[in-house]
Structure 1
Amino acid sequence: MNQKLTVFIEYKVKPDIIEQYEAHMQNVLIELMKDGARNTSWLKALDQDSLYVESFDVEGSEVYHSLKQLRLLKGHSVYGPLDQMISGGLSKLHCWAFEKKGE
């Protein structure tokens, strides 16, 4: 049985292309669901300009590692364009998975 993990992805978007980024994120959210993400959430920080966080659940570490690799592929048709939108490119996309504790 796979354990449900919650994934957080954090990055800063180049301020001059936020509108383009936000339009593209609709495609990213759809692609995430195709790739096994559930309960997706997309957030913008109030106190840090252009900082965004995505969160979602996945079933197990295999799905997490697969999705993490996909998100860092510059050649991916949906995730790859983020390389030009994120400050510092995809190398500045930070991704972590967490398991629930305490229940």
Structure 2
Amino acid sequence: SEKLIRAEFNRANNYISMFNHAALQGGEEYWNRLNEIKQPTLIIHGTDDKIWHYKNAGFLLEKIKGSNLITLEGTGHELHVDDWKSIIDGIEKHIND
């Protein structure tokens, strides 16, 4: 709805970056290699992401053994200042574990 679109647009850090995803291509050959990742991996994902849906975070979490997930409730595709505390706390925990 228009209300949701306006809310997401108003939260954007950079309007141009909201529309540049069509330029992203490739990488499909790596999907079947995610299980090869051995480094500690932190996945940060918003539940309201319309570009890269939240269910993909679960897929990554499953495929990358030992990975951790920070879920940003109500956040879309871009990170916002309102999310910084959760992100910073999650990164600190991830590093110290």
- TM-score w.r.t. length of structure 1: 0.27
Structure with the greater relative contact order (CA < 8 A, sep ≥ 6): 1 or 2? 1
Structure whose residues are more often strand by fraction: 1
Between structure 1 and structure 2, the one with the greater Rg is: 2
TM, length-normalised to structure 2:
0.28
Q: Which has the higher helix share?
A: 2
